[in-house]
């Protein structure tokens, strides 16, 4: 969860009338909507609408999102190359799912069209990692600008529209998390503040910059996803009619280049790269950093068996010191049950290096991941043998 924030006009206390002249049906108030997480037990925000947010005119079935998982007869490493992924659909419909389990869906997305219809994920927090592209996420919380290498964290039930600046093909990595995306508990002190020494601070998180109240009493559709089901709601007015809000639930950005890497005299384990926590998985940022300084340090990771974890790395930018053959937009999946490690030659090649310019995003899941049909189509079947030479 993000820290407490307030924007726009709110009354002095919760749950009292926020008065205005006239207003909807002359009732003289703004209409409160409490947006909660974990029932009413965890973080929440309170928003004030021009009109009640419940005025639904039509509910229609809008199909299903079918994820085709591939059947895999063997346990093996994968290298999925997405560099040549063709732009398709929009920021919602253009998502190509690659790795899935009960807790998370990881997709790549190169939208070809603008998102014209509002969208809301009713069953998942979403994280959109912006590999390329710049723009504004519009929601009832206001305008949230984003730029390359931002993680855009969008809580469950945030109705939104993403608007990209023209000129650059947007390129995205998308996580849909069944649970809530949070700052790891070990980064927080007992007072709820991010500890000194954590790889980021509150200043690195950016919420909506300004309120952008849409006062439009005309039918507006929202595509709502809950699990695989899609429903189209027609509201009697525009849902971004919020004049103010406060709380700890809102979309925000964190830029991967603001991640302060933790380094040592010898290799530090992957949890030091952890950026977000979610039930069943973590998201980590491998940011540019100094390499280990011990005179005998081995500067690439040791071979490791990820017992009880599947590990996906998405290669974003720079030279990847421990891997050969990976390129920008490659994804590797190193599953539980078998070891993986640096490629031959990379230990020696790294000896004279003092820093790495690599930027990569990692997802470690507790439950095994299934590959989708699309992931298998872009997979290099020779990758499991790439440690031989």
The contact set with Fe ion (CB under 5 A) reads 311
Cβ of residue 165: shortest distance to Fe ion, in angstroms?
A: 35
- Computed on alpha carbons and rounded to an integer, the radius of gyration of the chain in Å comes to 22
Q: Output the six-digit token pair for 255.
A: 């830029």
- State the Cα–Cα distance between residues 161 and 330, nearest whole angstrom: 28
Indicate the Cα dihedral angle 78, 81, 82, 83, nearest 10°. 160
Cβ-contact 130, 146 below 8 angstroms:
yes
Dihedral sign computed on CA atoms, order 238, 253, 369, 366: negative
Cβ of residue 96: shortest distance to Fe ion, in angstroms?
A: 24
- State the Cα–Cα distance between residues 348 and 279, nearest whole angstrom: 38
Q: Which residue is at the shortest CB distance from Fe ion?
A: 311
Indicate the DSSP class of residue 98: E
Cβ-contact 312, 369 below 8 angstroms:
yes
Question: Token pair 């690599």 is at which residue?
Answer: 358
Cα–Cα nearest to 177, from 365, 379, 352, 330: 365
Q: In the complex with Fe ion, which residue's Cβ is closer, 51 or 77?
A: 77
Cβ of residue 264: shortest distance to Fe ion, in angstroms?
A: 17
Cβ of residue 304: shortest distance to Fe ion, in angstroms?
A: 6
Q: In the complex with Fe ion, which residue's Cβ is closer, 311 or 379?
A: 311
Q: In the complex with Fe ion, which residue's Cβ is closer, 105 or 313?
A: 313
Cβ of residue 312: shortest distance to Fe ion, in angstroms?
A: 10
Q: In the complex with Fe ion, which residue's Cβ is closer, 53 or 335?
A: 335
Element (H, E) at 349: helix 346-349
Task: Specify which residues 201 forms β-bridges with.
Answer: none
Q: In the complex with Fe ion, which residue's Cβ is closer, 37 or 365?
A: 365
Q: In the complex with Fe ion, which residue's Cβ is closer, 152 or 283?
A: 283
Cβ of residue 374: shortest distance to Fe ion, in angstroms?
A: 23
Dihedral sign computed on CA atoms, order 89, 360, 301, 336: negative
Indicate the DSSP class of residue 367: S
Q: In the complex with Fe ion, which residue's Cβ is closer, 310 or 311?
A: 311
Cβ of residue 303: shortest distance to Fe ion, in angstroms?
A: 9
């Amino acid at each position: 969860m993000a820290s407490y924030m307030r924007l726009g006009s709110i009354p002095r206390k919760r749950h009292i009338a926020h008065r205005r002249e006239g207003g909807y049906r002359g009732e003289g108030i703004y209409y409160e909507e409490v947006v909660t997480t974990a029932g009413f037990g965890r973080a929440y925000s309170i928003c004030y609408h021009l009109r009640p947010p419940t005025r639904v005119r039509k509910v229609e079935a809008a199909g299903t999102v079918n994820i085709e998982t591939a059947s895999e007869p063997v346990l093996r490493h994968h290298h999925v190359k997405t560099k040549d992924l063709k732009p398709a659909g929009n920021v919602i419909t253009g998502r190509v799912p690659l790795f899935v389990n009960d807790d998370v869906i990881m997709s790549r997305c190169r939208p070809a069209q603008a998102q014209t219809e509002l969208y809301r994920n009713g069953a998942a927090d979403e994280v959109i990692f912006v590999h390329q592209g710049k723009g504004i996420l519009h929601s009832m919380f206001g305008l949230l600008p984003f730029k390359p290498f931002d993680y855009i964290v969008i809580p469950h039930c945030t109705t939104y529209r993403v608007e990209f600046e023209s000129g650059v093909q947007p390129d995205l990595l998308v996580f849909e998390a069944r649970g809530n995306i949070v700052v790891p508990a070990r980064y927080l002190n007992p007072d709820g503040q991010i500890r000194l020494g954590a790889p980021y601070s509150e200043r690195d998180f950016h919420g909506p910059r300004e309120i952008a109240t849409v006062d439009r009493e005309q039918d507006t559709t929202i595509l709502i996803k809950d699990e695989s089901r899609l429903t189209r709601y027609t509201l009697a007015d525009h849902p971004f009619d919020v004049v103010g809000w406060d709380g700890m639930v809102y979309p925000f950005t964190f830029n991967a280049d603001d991640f302060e890497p933790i380094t040592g005299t010898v290799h530090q384990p992957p949890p030091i790269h952890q950026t977000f926590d979610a039930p069943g998985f973590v998201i980590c940022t491998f940011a540019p950093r100094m390499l280990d300084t011990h005179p005998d340090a081995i500067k690439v990771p040791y071979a490791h068996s990820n017992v009880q974890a599947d590990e996906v790395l998405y290669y974003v930018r720079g030279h990847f010191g421990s891997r050969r053959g990976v390129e920008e937009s490659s994804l590797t999946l190193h599953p539980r049950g078998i070891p993986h490690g640096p490629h031959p030659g990379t230990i020696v090649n790294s000896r004279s290096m003092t820093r790495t310019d690599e930027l990569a995003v990692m997802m470690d899941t507790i439950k095994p991941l299934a590959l989708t049909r699309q992931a298998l189509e872009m997979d290099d079947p020779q990758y499991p043998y790439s440690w031989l030479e």
